[in-house]
Amino acid sequence: MTAFLNSPIGLLLVNGALLGLTLPLGKLAREAGVPPALWAFVISFGAGLVLLAVTYAQGGRFKVTPRKLRYFLITATVSYAVPNMLLFSAIPHLGAGFTGIMYTLSPIVTLMLSLLLGVRKPNALGIAGILVGAAGAVMVAATRGEAGAPADLFWVMIGLLMPCSLAIGNIYRTMDWPPDAGPVELAIGSHLAAAGILLIGLLATDGSAAFAALSAVPLLAVVQVSSSAIMFALFFRLQSVGGPVYLSQIGYVAAAVGLISGLLFLDEHYSILTWAGAVIIVIGVTMTTKAQRKPA
């Protein structure tokens, strides 16, 4: 277990696979009438609560300081509440597989922000990777979802906002990581904060009517909470071991899981241009990854 917890590639594959599972589960929940904000709440509240219970059961503590509270609230907003709202709103219009492809843009946007903010100095390969990935993104966006059923451009733009929010979160979590906090503690605080933000929004709108929709998918909710709790327990560990750009590549694995599950279980179909764009994005991600290993 110790070897796994110190293995960036192992953590990356497990995190990415569990993140990819969120795509078909989210689509099934939306088809059952569960609002996007409620499903995002289920993920954050369930994961935060399970991790908190396990922490106390193992004799650990969860301590909140002003510095950590700031971290929790900002991370909750840009890494969980906003991208999950975008994700579950877009999936019914774009398909689980197509929305998953949006995840693959996160490493490219993360590197681009790293360059702009001075977290990482630019090199030629990194800039080339950004340009290649952007070209692939344009190709994918042009197909606008499933073959034969193009979505409105509005939903494509909503999908593209998701990797931007994730990238901001990737950079922020690394730059402002509290020195006295561990990965699981940060996961607990950030998700409970995200759940609080989403709950306020739910109570201000649908209220009890929204929560009634969960009664139609109890097993789906249990599966989602369980997978999310495991993923986020490992998520911050991957952040610590691999760094923000490496972490952002979980979208690569998640997209593959989303596409495969969409094809096999949700009867989704995509055009050749979508697949070609996805391959070009992968090439861009590979280039940006290699750029991180080269001296600036």
Phi-psi region of 227 (alpha: psi -120 to 50; beta: other; left: phi over 0): alpha
User: Does position 70 have pLDDT exceeding 90, yes or no?
Assistant: yes
**Residue 225: φ, ψ to 5°:** -65, -45
Query: Which one has a higher pLDDT value, 196 or 244?
Result: 196
- Average pLDDT value over all residues in the chain: 83
Q: How far apart are CA 163 and CA 181, in angstroms?
A: 26
Range of the domain at 177: 2-293
Supply the pLDDT for residue 294: 59
Supply the pLDDT for residue 51: 85
Rg (CA), the chain: 18
Supply the pLDDT for residue 147: 66
Question: What is the number of structural domains in the chain?
Answer: 1
Supply the pLDDT for residue 194: 95
Supply the pLDDT for residue 19: 84
The predicted model gives 250-273 an average pLDDT of 81
**How big, in percent rounded to 5, are the helix, strand and coil portions of the chain?**
80, 0, 20
Supply the pLDDT for residue 283: 86
pLDDT digits (tens, 9 = 90+) for 21-34: 888 898 899 888 89
CA torsion sign, 51 to 52 to 57 to 62?
A: positive
Q: What is the pTM of this model?
A: 0.80
Supply the pLDDT for residue 199: 92
Q: How far apart are CA 45 and CA 62, in angstroms?
A: 16
> Residue 119: what residue type?
V
| Residues in CB range of 128: below 8 A, 6 or more apart | 287
Percent of the chain with pLDDT over 70: 93
